[in-house]
């Protein structure tokens, strides 16, 4: 039996396979962050195609936490209704579904918003310089993540993913390249982790204990003075006992950097984190072939495989992958006569 199509359970997240749809910003919500029919169809199609776990795109816990106007929002109770439609559709079509709770920090590109960050350093010369967050700002954002988790639970999501990657706000606190604070939220690694730890603790007060919490990280900053996979092991080990069940391993985007990308380029980072933390990991990075995904899993380099662009190109990738791996899986009933 192929490992890619084997069942796995984390808390009450019971998955039929190890294929994860990575969160990818679609930028088709309205200016207030509300979901629409496009989202329902987009995610539902990947559920029909056989994806085991869909992780919804970065969904902002504050209006100023959006990356762009058009991002989904979860900063108000009125967002729940639209998100719930996505959840119900995707689950009815056979997938489990999580949501990525996010805050863009200094990488917010919504012109009407005040940009905040741990330190007043712009991402590059095309971005405005953010305002350094006060302690009150920090407390406000932590509470926004808590309220986002509450709304995610009310919408029916099976899991939440805390977005601690790609140079957005949590990642800005974690990286020494972007966190130059002199208070208890900056300096030492323990201090830089404090913001994330407090977010997790607040989320745990509203998120059911039997539902999984995923943490997405940038395992490599691609700059010598930045974080590297071994640093992320230390960071994760400082917070994992707060309630982290699964690590989604990505890399980069904290600062502008030249990155050599190739199929599987992030998998070695996932291996280091899996070994160093003892937690299950999701690995990915330009993976397009079923045989490559199977190799990564069977050699115990990761526990799940995330697909991004490949699932945009081909929402039925899991169905085709099952044939390549000689795995006889059930196709959606209306498509049965097209089964390969």
For residue 142, give the DSSP letter. H
- Asked if residue 184 has pLDDT above 90, the reply is yes
Q: What share of the chain is helix, strand, coil (3-state, %, to 5)?
A: 40, 15, 45
User: How open is the CA angle 226-230-236, to the nearest 5 degrees?
Assistant: 95
Give the pLDDT confidence score for residue 340 in this predicted structure.
Answer: 78
Q: What is the mean pLDDT of residues 163-188?
A: 98
Q: Given the DSSP bridges, would you call strands 8-10 and 13-15 parallel, antiparallel or unpaired?
A: antiparallel
Sole residue written with tokens 């993540």: 145
- Evaluate whether 291 touches 324 at the Cβ level (below 8 Å): yes
d(C-alpha 167, C-alpha 192), whole Å: 14
Provide the pLDDT confidence category of residue 324 given band limits of 50, 70 and 90: very high
d(C-alpha 11, C-alpha 15), whole Å: 11
Q: What is the mean pLDDT of residues 296-304?
A: 98
Provide the pLDDT confidence category of residue 19 given band limits of 50, 70 and 90: very high
Q: What is the mean pLDDT of residues 200-228?
A: 98
What's the chain's length in residues?
340
Give the pLDDT confidence score for residue 4 in this predicted structure.
Answer: 98
Q: pLDDT tens digit string along 74-119?
A: 999 999 999 999 999 999 999 999 999 999 999 999 999 999 999 9
- Decide: helix, strand or coil at residue 207: coil
Q: pLDDT tens digit string along 135-146?
A: 999 999 999 999
Percent of the chain scoring above 70 in pLDDT: 100
């Amino acid at each position: 039996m192929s490992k890619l199509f084997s069942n796995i359970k984390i808390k009450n997240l019971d998955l039929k396979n190890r294929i994860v749809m990575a969160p990818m910003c679609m930028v088709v919500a309205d200016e207030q962050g509300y979901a629409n029919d496009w989202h329902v169809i987009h995610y539902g199609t990947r559920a029909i195609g056989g994806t085991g776990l869909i992780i919804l795109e970065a969904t902002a816990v504050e209006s100023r936490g959006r990356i762009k106007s058009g991002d989904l929002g979860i900063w108000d109770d009125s967002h729940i209704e639209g998100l719930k439609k996505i959840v119900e559709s995707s689950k009815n079509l056979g997938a489990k579904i999580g949501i990525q709770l996010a805050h863009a920090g200094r990488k917010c590109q919504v012109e009407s918003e005040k940009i905040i960050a741990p330190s007043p350093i712009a991402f590059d010369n095309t971005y405005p310089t953010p305002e350094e967050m006060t302690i009150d700002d920090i407390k406000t954002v932590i509470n926004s993540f808590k309220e986002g988790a509450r709304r995610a639970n009310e919408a029916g999501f099976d899991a939440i993913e805390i977005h601690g990657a790609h140079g957005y706000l949590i990642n800005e606190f974690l990286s020494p390249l972007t966190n130059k604070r002199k208070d208890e939220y900056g300096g030492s690694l323990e201090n830089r982790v404090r913001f994330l730890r407090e977010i997790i603790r607040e989320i745990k007060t509203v998120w059911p204990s039997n539902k999984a919490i995923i943490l997405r990280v940038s395992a490599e900053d691609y700059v010598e003075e930045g974080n590297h996979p071994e640093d992320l092991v230390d960071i994760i080990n400082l917070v994992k006992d707060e309630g982290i069940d699964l690590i989604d391993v990505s890399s980069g985007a904290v600062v502008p950097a030249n990155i050599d990308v190739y199929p599987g380029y992030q998998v070695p980072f996932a291996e280091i984190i899996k070994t160093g933390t003892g937690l299950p990991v999701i690995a990915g990075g330009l993976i397009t072939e079923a045989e490559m995904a199977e190799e990564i899993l069977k050699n115990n380099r990761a526990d799940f495989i995330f697909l991004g662009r490949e699932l945009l190109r081909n929402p039925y990738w899991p169905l085709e992958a099952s044939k390549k791996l000689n795995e006889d899986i059930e196709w959606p009933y209306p498509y049965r006569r097209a089964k390969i």
